[in-house]
Amino acid sequence: MQEIILQNKKHGMRTLLVCILVELLSVVGMIVGAALAENGETVGWALFVVALILLCIAWIPLVGLRVLKPQEALVLTLFGKYIGTLKGEGFYAINPFCVAVNPAAKTKLNQSGDVAHANGDSLSAGTGLSAVDKKISLKIMTLNNNRQKINDCLGNPVEIGIAVTWKVVDTAKAAFNVDNYKEYLSLQCDSALRNVVRVYPYDVAPGVDTTGDGVADDGSLRGSSEIVAARIKSEIQSRVNEAGIEIVEARITYLAYAPEIAAVMLQRQQASAIIDARKMIVDGAVGMVEMALERLSENKTVELDEERKAAMVSNLLVVLCGNHDAQPVVNSGSLY
């Protein structure tokens, strides 16, 4: 479906004034015709009938008046055939038998810019009031998709939510290529999100290839959010091209382990943090002990044999690596 932009249709004010003038002249003609008919002149009846006919049909062009605000569009069909799209702000006059089409007019998603009228179904498709419901917004909107529970590449269930910024760029495709472009976008966002999340682990894991080049890398949902978001955007865009939608941006708004494994994963992270901290403490303590022994040996402060060095190393490591404050013990005797 090729979009057709209708030009030279901004004649709404002129049409309105002409219709009002014709109505007024018709009323005057009926009065004059009635007066002439009372005087027995046959031209009076002819004038009365013509004025009456004009009075009955002069309002029909008013049905074709449309008002559009900036960043709005109106897709028009005439007896089922697509004839074009009105774009840009202005007061338009179109064929009064044209019908505006917007299959997503009543659809409300969790997104910005959605407005639905509860009484829209009771409005006639040929009136100006129904055109308000049928306008397609060309503004940039943000879709906050519902959180989903998806298994990552390691099989761990994670909950993830995304915000997709999008806009309609081809009104003909949006109106005719898909049944409902808003629901179609939401469904494709869900599908693309699942396909991308299944490639990544929640956190960095060894031996995982997220790029598809056969080499393990450090990609993860938590650590590579920008890369994951760009990949999600590309995936969604490839799916919604036929709906005339452009994806401006995709962002991860929520990411966490699923509740059933969140506590276990927290313990795992705590254990990993404790181990890393202990490694750092031991490395620091060994370095301090080595430095102490070197300084004592260089300055010849005391001569220590191997057994005394072992005892000193043991005591220093206990003091430096312990979780509690050391309780000094004074030895007044000999080590032997």
The pLDDT tens digits for 95-120 are: 999 999 999 888 877 665 564 443 44
Q: What percent of the chain is predicted at pLDDT more than 90?
A: 29
Verify that 174 and 66 share a domain, yes or no: no
SS3 content of the chain, % helix, strand, coil (to 5): 45, 20, 35
pLDDT tens for each residue of 265-296: 677 677 777 787 778 888 887 888 888 777 77
* Domain count of the fold of the chain: 3
pLDDT of residue 119: 42
Identify the pLDDT of residue 205. 80
Q: Please report the pLDDT score of residue 334 as a whole number.
A: 57
Q: Are residues 170 and 194 in the same domain?
A: yes
Give a yes or no: residue 112 inside a domain. no
- Confidence (pLDDT) at 298: 77
- Last residue of some domain: 257, 281, 307? 257
pLDDT for res 127: 38
- SS3 call for 189: helix
Asked whether residue 177 is assigned to any structural domain, the reply reads: yes
Is there a domain that residue 303 lies in?
yes
In this structure, the answer to whether residues 251 and 151 fall within a common structural domain is yes
Asked if residue 158 and residue 173 are part of one domain, the reply reads yes
For the segment 253-265, what is each residue's pLDDT rounded down to a tens digit? 988 888 776 666 6
Statement: residue 234 has pLDDT above 90:
yes
The predicted pLDDT at position 125 comes to 37
Last residue of a domain, one of 101, 118, 152: 101
Query: What's the mean pLDDT in 8-31?
Result: 88
Residues 234 and 313 in one domain: no
For residues 94 and 11, give the distance between their C-alpha atoms in angstroms, rounded to a whole number: 8
Check whether residue 147 and residue 49 sit in a common domain.
no
Q: What length does the chain have?
A: 336
- The reply to whether 166 and 242 lie within a common domain is yes
| Residue 152 pLDDT level (bands cut at 50, 70, 90) | confident
Lowest mean pLDDT among 23-37, 219-233, 311-325: 311-325
The answer on 163 and 82 residing in a single domain is no
Q: Residue 199 falls within a domain, yes or no?
A: yes
Residue 148 is part of a domain; what is its CATH number? Answer: 3.30.479.30
Considering the domain architecture, whether residues 267 and 251 belong to the same structural domain is answered as no
**Is 114 inside a domain boundary?**
no
Q: Residue 273 has what pLDDT? A: 77
Against a cut of 0.75, is the pTM above it?
no
In a domain, 179, yes or no: yes
pLDDT band with cut points at 50, 70 and 90 for residue 131? very low
Q: Is 233 exposed, middle or buried (0-12, 13-18, 19+ CB in 10 A)?
A: buried
What DSSP assignment string belongs to 62-80?
A: GGGEEEE-TTEEEEEEETT
pLDDT at position 118 is: 39
Question: Looking at the structure, do residues 193 and 268 belong to the same domain, yes or no?
Answer: no
Query: 152 in a domain, yes or no?
Result: yes
Among 257, 275, 295, where does a domain finish? 257
Say whether pLDDT at 250 is over 90.
Answer: yes
91 found inside a domain: yes
Report the range out of 38-52, 80-94, 206-220 with the highest average pLDDT.
Answer: 80-94
219 with 288, same domain: the answer is no
Q: What is the pLDDT of residue 278?
A: 78
H/E stretch holding 216 reads none
Backbone angles phi, psi at 120, to 5 degrees: -60, -30
Mean of all residue pLDDT scores within the chain: 82
The range of the structural domain enclosing residue 83 comes to 12-101
Do 162 and 245 have their domain in common?
yes
Report the distance separating Cα 32 and Cα 55, nearest Å. 14
